[in-house]
Structure 1
Amino acid sequence: MNLTKSILFAGVLLTAGSTTVFAQSGNVKKAKSNFTKFEELKAANTAALGKGNLTSAQEAIDAAIVHEKTQNDPEAWAVYSLVYANIASLDKNVEAANKAIEGIKKATELDADKKNEANIKAAGQTLGQFRFNEGVAAWDKQDYPTAYKEFSGALDYLPGDTTLTYYSGLAAVQNKDYDNAIARYKALVPVKDYSAHKSIMVDLPKLYLSKQDTAAALASAAEAAAAYPNDNAAVVQNIELNLITGNEAKVVSDIEAQIAKDASNKSLHYYLGLAYSTSRQAEKALESYKKALEIDPNYLEANTNAAVVIMNSGRDELIALNDNKSLQPKDYNAKVAALKEKIGRALPYLQKSVEADPKNVDALRNLKNFYDFMQDEAKSTETQAKIDAIK
């Protein structure tokens, strides 16, 4: 993923300090004047042309913050933070960024009457932009721990910025730092107009599952499905999680409602089959699997499960026959023959499963079980040989 580098901020405001212009130190005035010229060129997208002005501002403000008359002047420190934040941004200079951080801290401590608040905030915005760009550079190098650190650091100066919040969440995901990833994503859940809101809602349950927090994953999946009822990914995820956690009876109506909107979605018919299978409605399950196969005859899972439904039904009948001691051999044999015919319906599905994935051991074992029941020793031996070859 390439992360954009275009967060825009408001222009810097150089407001008057607590003293009048006439009482100001010469170095603070010089720094402000040169920085204003730099800002004008920066606003015209020609910041490089103003580099000389920025250097002059740097020299003047460095002198101001150590002079006895201005070393505790909040305006001097506010300008200091502005100058060094812009040097950091222009030159990708970490040392300058650290000085800007120092300047913001000192200016904030000294600015009791908040007259330099706008300049301090502007310095923070520029520093946030610098750390954002550092995060992007780290992301491009796949250095995700550093990317997370920089994006999170930028949030210190740009609290609530949706792009930074999302990117820091993405970096946390890459670090498998699921706690921080969840915290960032949850912060964006209320921001419904954010461009990545749907992706965040759909991905959040997966993050909870990574922490094995099934209850939170279910709640989050339900919230995503409610927020985006026409989105297949959100709705199907909610269905899957409910099936995994044994809530198949509850989810049947949800699946049927989704099928009404998207009848050509083979997965939905398959999920409905799973729900019916789990709730022991074999015939309904088989019909759902068949509908999935009408859409995609080579659908491995639907073929496998259709065969399993048929064979399990036959197994249950065979157990009942074997338990019935009152049956005469002739009647028993007749019923077994009828049962073999019934179970024979599974063969096309079993064969399709093997065709779809010839090295699928489970599919081959199901086929072998079928031949064993049918007492087809040759086919059973042949299938076992295929299983052995895979091992």
Structure 2
Amino acid sequence: MNVKKAIVFSLLVAAGTTTFAQTSNLRKAKTALQKYEELKGAGSAELGKSNLESAKEAIDQAIVHDKTKEDAETWTIYALVNANLATLNGTAEAATAASEGIKKATELDKEGKNADNIKVAGQTLGQFNFNQGVAAWDKQDFKTAYASFDSALGFLPGDTTLTYYSGLAAIQNQDYPNAIEKYKQLIPAKDFSSHKSVMVDLPKLYLSAKDTASAIEYAAQAAQAYPNDNDAATQNIELNLIAGNEAKIISDIESQIAKDGSNKSLYYYLGIAQSAANNNDKAIEAYKKAVSIDANYSDANRNAAATIINGVREKLNALNDDKTLSNTDYNTKVNALKEEIKEALPYLEKVVELNPEDVDALRSLKGYYDFQQDEAKATEIQAKIDAAK
């Protein structure tokens, strides 16, 4: 994101008359301000600086003159002049004066004759605060940047760019509550260029704020808003897996696989979800698919082996608890399990190959050989375990 991108306003001081008497100072201020606006509109604001200073000198006298000090137009011009000075020179003093002028003009403008120019003064003051925010951002003073962008929003309510920058500054300052607030304000702005990023990042902000429930809620919204976006879909899946909603998310994963069948992570997630739903055969199938896409996918290899081994272990425990079996029948069934568990061996070996010092994987591999009653291999693996400790 380029935070130096300026917000451009088209400013126009409306021509017209006022029912109140005007002194030469008010007329001078209006004329000088108009000349400045013309130069600024032509991209030469700096050349009009002398006109703006002349307008300032004249309007400062007009706001204390008996005939114009209670005139809404006087305070409108005062606000416009000071707002432009603040933006041109970056002066907080002029910004404060402009804010006071806007307040006074609004109070006096009972019929709304100056409403358009009061609004322009506010927009210009918003530009000043935006510029202050950019300067603070460049200095990595994100707290001040947020305050400045937020102040600009007071004059430019609903501006999506300012709202976004405010949120980004809050994130940089680890001010997650304000970041969340700004991002949530952008949810209805579907035409905003960074809308998808906002939707996808909002759940992450909730996680940073340790609000998992809201993270899941907004992850689902992001996936619904952008059903064809892999990042949004994957995040929704991951958060539901973290929250233990594996069984519920299976259909979402399968829908995403239908759109992105070469995504190994989706098959890995499906394996986790199916395993949690006690669908071990489907879990193994999913892990195998992930490995077929990437043979070196360590986590998928590990889970494939673990799921196969756990299934055999459950069957072995059931055999051990069955007191009705004869020794012959028991041994026959154990031998069948020894054959069944062989399916796990290539996955275990791959995990160890990828990380030879993975003690947990080595222990699982030794357990495999212990079950197969292969003492030589079990001793060999134990030596690797001892060396890895």
For the aligned pair, the TM-score class normalised by the smaller chain equals: over 0.9
* Equivalent-residue separation in structure 2 for 1:197 and 1:131 (angstroms): 24
Q: Deviation per CA, 1:83-132, whole angstroms, max 9, x where unpaired?
A: 11111111122222122112212222222222221121111101111111
Match for residue 345 of structure 2 among 341, 344, 347? 347
* Equivalent-residue separation in structure 2 for 1:25 and 1:359 (angstroms): 89
* Equivalent-residue separation in structure 1 for 2:262 and 2:309 (angstroms): 27
* Equivalent-residue separation in structure 2 for 1:309 and 1:17 (angstroms): 84
* Equivalent-residue separation in structure 2 for 1:361 and 1:128 (angstroms): 60
Match for residue 153 of structure 1 among 143, 151, 154? 151
* 1:69 paired residue number: 67
Q: 1:352 to 1:122 in 2, by over 3 A?
A: same
* Equivalent-residue separation in structure 2 for 1:111 and 1:368 (angstroms): 86
Note the 1:108-147 alignment, pairs <5 A. Answer: 108-147=106-145
* 1:383 paired residue number: 384
User: What amino acid is the match of 1:309?
Assistant: T
Q: Bigger shift: 178-187 or 374-383?
A: 374-383
How far the C-alpha of 1:205 sits from its partner, in A, is: 1.9
Q: Bigger shift: 110-119 or 325-334?
A: 325-334
Q: 1:270 to 1:135 in 2, by over 3 A?
A: same
How far the C-alpha of 1:304 sits from its partner, in A, is: 1.0
How far the C-alpha of 1:280 sits from its partner, in A, is: 0.9
* Kept in 1: contact 2:359–2:385 (CA 8 A): no
Note the 1:217-366 alignment, pairs <5 A. Answer: 217-358=215-356, 360-366=358-364
* Equivalent-residue separation in structure 2 for 1:78 and 1:359 (angstroms): 75
* Kept in 1: contact 2:137–2:145 (CA 8 A): yes
* Equivalent-residue separation in structure 1 for 2:120 and 2:299 (angstroms): 58
Q: 1:353 to 1:57 in 2, by over 3 A?
A: same
* Kept in 2: contact 1:5–1:133 (CA 8 A): no
* Corresponding residue SS for 1:135: helix
* Equivalent-residue separation in structure 1 for 2:197 and 2:103 (angstroms): 37
* Kept in 1: contact 2:206–2:215 (CA 8 A): yes
* Kept in 2: contact 1:92–1:130 (CA 8 A): yes
Q: Normalising by the residue count of structure 1, what TM-score does the alignment of the two structures yield? A: 0.92
* 1:3 paired residue number: 3
Q: 1:181 to 1:364 in 2, by over 3 A?
A: farther
Q: 1:212 to 1:24 in 2, by over 3 A?
A: same
How far the C-alpha of 1:81 sits from its partner, in A, is: 1.1
Q: 1:154 to 1:366 in 2, by over 3 A?
A: farther
* Kept in 2: contact 1:138–1:144 (CA 8 A): yes
* Equivalent-residue separation in structure 2 for 1:110 and 1:365 (angstroms): 82
* Kept in 2: contact 1:354–1:364 (CA 8 A): yes
Cα RMSD for the two superposed structures: 2.1
How far the C-alpha of 1:151 sits from its partner, in A, is: 0.9
* Kept in 1: contact 2:129–2:152 (CA 8 A): yes
User: What amino acid is the match of 2:240?
Assistant: N
* 2:12 paired residue number: 12
* Kept in 2: contact 1:368–1:383 (CA 8 A): no
* Kept in 1: contact 2:200–2:222 (CA 8 A): yes
* Equivalent-residue separation in structure 1 for 2:154 and 2:53 (angstroms): 27
* Equivalent-residue separation in structure 1 for 2:369 and 2:145 (angstroms): 57
How far the C-alpha of 1:15 sits from its partner, in A, is: 4.1
Unaligned runs of 5+ in 1: none
User: What amino acid is the match of 2:2?
Assistant: N
Aligned residues: 386
* Equivalent-residue separation in structure 2 for 1:72 and 1:366 (angstroms): 87
Q: 1:110 to 1:357 in 2, by over 3 A?
A: farther
* Equivalent-residue separation in structure 2 for 1:297 and 1:378 (angstroms): 27
User: What amino acid is the match of 2:179?
Assistant: A
* Equivalent-residue separation in structure 2 for 1:220 and 1:149 (angstroms): 26
Q: Normalising by the residue count of structure 2, what TM-score does the alignment of the two structures yield? A: 0.92
* Kept in 1: contact 2:79–2:121 (CA 8 A): yes
User: What amino acid is the match of 1:233?
Assistant: D
How far the C-alpha of 1:372 sits from its partner, in A, is: 4.6
Match for residue 201 of structure 1 among 195, 199, 202? 199
Q: Deviation per CA, 1:230-253, whole angstroms, max 9, x where unpaired?
A: 111111222222223333233222
Unaligned runs of 5+ in 2: none
